[in-house]
Amino acid sequence: MGGVRYILRRVSLAVFVILGVLLITFAVSRIIPGDPARLYLGARASQQAVEQIRNELGLNDPLPKQFLRYVVDSTQGNFGYSFRTKRLILDDLKKRLPATMELVVLALVFSVLVGVPVGVLAAAHFGSSLDRFVRVISVLGVSMPAFWLALLLQLMFFLWLDLLPLGGRLGQTISLLHPIETITGFYLIDAAITGNWIAWRDAAWHAILPTAVLATFPISLVIRMIRASMLEVLSETYVTAARAAGLGEGEILFKLTLKNAVVPTLTILGLIFAFSITGAVLIETIFKWPGLGSYMLEAVLNDDVPVLFAVTLVVTLIYIAVNLVVDLVQASLDPRIRIGQRDNT
């Protein structure tokens, strides 16, 4: 029963946060200078045309009615039209969001696969040269500017070694001769489903550099978090008892202690996921990756206000959903979280 109350409490909180974001974005859209109808039609549009668009968009209605319509439209995915392209923003998001999500998921999976075992080994060899080396690398990874690393990798692997492509999701020749049929929007998944292995290999090669750059900060953070958590758990009495009972060091590290050490890291992974979506703006620009980040940058440069608000809402929803899932997973792994929440109410 306590678990159900905890879930309902977290879901209710997520709903209130979403409503708060909707209220803030609506208020900002009405405060910023400029007439939305004029921005949509352009500076040379007649006043009659502007008034007609204002009536069609409901901009002359009372603010409470506009806000209610804004909430209903947003929950249905109706974000309106882009000022720049005059296309439905939802259609653009359907093309752009999977590209960003593919990059972010690849970076997150790579971060976990590399960061967790490296952090465990560093904690197991505390104070050794391996531990010191891992700490230095993790500090460099956290502090290194993403744009500098991206340019350096492009210079090294494209210009000097000629091993990896400079940017994009797919080569022009491959996209013409072996186009990927869109099913999920994830090129690697869609190409695998349809058996288009030529395009799959090309998409994988194009994803290596942006994934490596986007994963640098998360890997370093995961290493530091896992190492710190493992050092704390390894000092517990039950670990000493397990060693005295003759359990192998690998079993103690990866089966006995890692489950407890990974719980604090889950929160960081949720934050990393949301950070990677917003942090992909610069990386997508450098690597010409046609995702949500480059879409947002184009909107900023062209004063495309509806796109900016739509992207803000989508990123917020993803952020809230990911953190809700992380909270529920944490509560399932550590019942003390549910108990603490119940005691505080």
Query: What are the boundaries of each domain within the chain?
Result: 34-76, 90-344
- Asked if 103 contacts 291 with a C-beta cutoff of 8 angstroms, the reply is yes
Measured distance between the N- and C-terminal CA atoms of the chain, rounded to whole angstroms: 15
- Asked if 233 contacts 257 with a C-beta cutoff of 8 angstroms, the reply is yes
Give the CATH architecture of domain 90-344. Orthogonal Bundle (1.10)
Q: Is the pLDDT higher at 139 or at 33?
A: 139
Spatial distance between the Cα atoms of 341 and 327, rounded to a whole number of angstroms: 11
* Radius of gyration (C-alpha) of the chain in whole angstroms: 24
Conformation bin of residue 134: beta by default, left when phi > 0, alpha when psi is -120 to 50: alpha
* 325's tokens: 């899932």
Q: Among 260, 294, 263, which Cα is nearest to 277's?
A: 294
Q: Is the pLDDT higher at 158 or at 315?
A: 158
What does 207-227 look like in DSSP terms, one character per residue? HHHHHHHHHHHHHHHHHHHHH
Residue 343: predicted pLDDT: 47
DSSP 181: P
Spatial distance between the Cα atoms of 233 and 265, rounded to a whole number of angstroms: 13
Identify the three-state secondary structure at position 79. Answer: coil
Among 20-34, 114-128, 224-238, the minimum mean pLDDT is found in 20-34
Tell me: pLDDT of 227 over 60. yes
Average model confidence (pLDDT) for the chain?
Answer: 83
What is the rounded average pLDDT of the residues 234-243? 78
The secondary element (H helix, E strand) that includes residue 60 is none
Conformation bin of residue 185: beta by default, left when phi > 0, alpha when psi is -120 to 50: left
Residue 207: predicted pLDDT: 94
Tally of CA atoms within 13 A in the half-sphere of 13 that contains its CB: 11
Q: What per-residue string of b and e applies to 275-308 under the rule 16 or more CB within 10 Å gives b?
A: bbbbbbbbbbbbbebbbbbbbbebbeeeebbbbb
Share of the chain above pLDDT 90, in %: 28
Q: Among 42, 231, 69, which Cα is nearest to 79's?
A: 69
Inter-CA distances, 78 with 90, 268, 307, Å? 7, 32, 12
Give the other-Cβ count within 10 Å of 86's Cβ: 8
What is the rounded average pLDDT of the residues 51-74? 82
**What confidence tens digit (pLDDT) does each residue in 279-322 have?**
777 888 899 999 888 888 888 887 788 888 888 888 888 888 88
User: Model's pTM, two decimal places?
Assistant: 0.81
Spatial distance between the Cα atoms of 343 and 169, rounded to a whole number of angstroms: 50
Tell me: pLDDT of 5 over 90. no
